[in-house]
Structure 1
Amino acid sequence: MTVLKAVMAPARAEYAGGFREIDVYDLPGECTGAVTGLYLTGDVDQEYLAEQRRMLDSFVARGGRIVVNGHVQRVFLEGLTRWRKLEFRNPRDLALTRVTEHPVWAGTDPKSFLYNTGTRGPVPFAELERTGVAGFYGRGCYPDLPEDARVVHTIGRTWAPIDYDYPLGAGRVLVHGGNDLLQFATADRGTARLPYRREFRRGAAARHHHGPGVPPRLRVHAGSDATALFGTALGHQEEGEDMLTVLESGTPIDPSFADLMKYHGTEFPGGVAHAYCAVRHAVSLFGTVERREVTVRTAFPGQGGRDAIEMALRAVTGDRFTVVPELAATERGPVLARYVWEFTYRDRTVLLRLRDAGFVTAEFIELGARRDRDAADNARLRVLKQEMTDRLLAGAVGEVYEEVPPPTR
């Protein structure tokens, strides 16, 4: 899998900080099927990108991830809106407010992005207020947002959106209305790990609250592997991440979450994520498996889970997949009861259940069960689905599901 960084300068398709840098004008030829993510710097030619809109829309709709920096004035991607300059008189008019927690900015203080200073090393905020210059992070906003957009930061006292993301088909778009985000990943301001967090690969323009008890994933320091930069949003599979690998007649296959979503569609990403996490955990316990020899029983009846199991293990068409309501852990309550998976490979069986760590919310269960939902309810349900998906994909093996003793049959 490849993540491209499109820039306004001749490039030789070299890797820099983990990205493969390309000239933006080479994008049509470079954006092949192997590319899963695209990072657009803030100075790229938007007129040219607008000419490539059909290609960009298709790239995201089929599961790609795009990060858009800067001031959008030409709508080159479905859902984008135009940036507007903010009227400001003092730094308070440019201060950030975090509306939604997002893995890209996890562990950072919005105040750390307000000022720039020429002083080397960490500078106390009080000193930054006295000597720093405000406005480098952003001086404008996106007052008009696409449907299902999630605002991460607002700017100023009018709470105008500056950072947001939104779904587009099977993919996702992250928009930052200011200078390139990579410029703000510095140790001096205490943000060396922005946005080098694997949570974003496991979600992520992307998706956003981590449940209690879910430990943060390994962080990659600035200057090492920048492909961790928007992993979830960019759909990039990093070396060292927990991958799912199974065998097909001895040949390794590495189905990613994005692959499973391409097979399933867009309706139930949470179900796909649950099955993906469960299969990945089971394989980590079994070791190398021939995928057509794995049998699956589950209390989870969702179509997303079924499709993910079929794509990864070919268990549905192989008549090795069964929904067993009796497997439900009813004593755990309606939120957790059905998230139980039993995998059998040759002479070993493992039973997995979802950890009680906030991955699934009562609101999601209750709203999903309602049959009288209106348009607003359905819009809210889509948001809850994506947020749950992001939480699940942010967890490593063992952080999402846990092994429990198999029941006595």
Structure 2
Amino acid sequence: MPRNARHLLALVIAACLSAGCSRSDTADTAVSSAAPDAPAAAATDDPALRSYYDGLVATHGEDITTCPQAESPDAQACADDTVAGMPAAPRRVLLMLDASGSMAGRQGGETKLVIAQDALLDFARRIEGDAQVALRVYGHRGGNREQDKPESCRATELVQPFAPRDPAAFETAVRAFQPSGFTPIAASLQAAARDFADGGANADGNVVYLVSDGIETCDGDPVAAARALRAGDIGVVVNVIGFDVDAQAEQQLRSVAEAGGGEYLAAQNRDDLTALFNRRLAAISARFNCRIGAASASFNRTVGTHSTRLNCIVGKAVRESNAVIGAATTDRNAGRATAAQFDYAIRQASEKREGLIRPARAEYDAAVSGSSNALEAGVDAANADREAATQDARDGETR
């Protein structure tokens, strides 16, 4: 190849490298074009060639070790990682509603049963995600007379089983009864064990919300029933909501909640009951938002630090390669470098550039892929825990 053509090719190579051309389009072309005229360039262990190239690097080299190290921080733990009485990832929620005769009592022109039905429907509508909601009603048959007691105390019914939710069907089930008889809390908790067992094997994520305005009146032991439900293989958490109860009823219902591993919550009227459920949803929503935020922040920090490191390495590698090739071109044009030195320098500069960028990019790609998987897993876990509650639920804490 004529000397002027060779020099022009070197300048084109240098410009291409600066623009980001691939090694196969630049350095390899330079080596193959130079090889017929300079067979000595193939001797990569030639001390004279190495010495010339090392001199160029000493003058124009970049220090890659100054590039910042990348980090892959874990997502920060959320301070509110648990909600009292609620499993980390509730999957099945059984609402148990007292429909005994006392729920016919009126507040603000409406029965306590209607107030409780409204609150439960609102709560069920705003539970998002994969959680299934079932409804068991008790005390809704018979009457308050002593001769009605046997029938009424047997009156505990799963009116809506665990299944993918159908809001219209659920509301129909909730509204389909009137306050009637006695209060079989213990029998209802015993039946709840069958509800969860029939709903499919699931060792965790099961929670009960039992709403009652009074004590057990069917001679059962609700505390023992709650303890047995909690201790069973299904792993159920029993929460109790005392709605407009007296001191005696509150004491018993609180003991039921404690035995069931849950908490006792008190409500005196419609506003209390609605706010109570809203606070539950608000707490779940806060935990969801925290987990999503922590997972996203971890992803952003990981990608950011690896991007900074990759950009630094690529920048230094390209600058050094272009500077060495430019200096070798100048030396060759001025007669200070032989054809073999010129070809050797181009090849070594290109190979070093690729040798630095390729593993740095692979490290970056692996970090982004791993962090993306971690983000997806974090979002999936948060969604399983609960979808974000509605704005009304988030505002419930202040009601």
Q: TM-score, normalised by structure 2?
A: 0.23
Q: TM-score, normalised by structure 1?
A: 0.23
Structure with greater helix share of residues: 2
Structure with greater strand share of residues: 1
Q: Which has the larger radius of gyration?
A: 2
Q: Return the structure number with greater relative CO, CA threshold 8 A, min gap 6.
A: 2
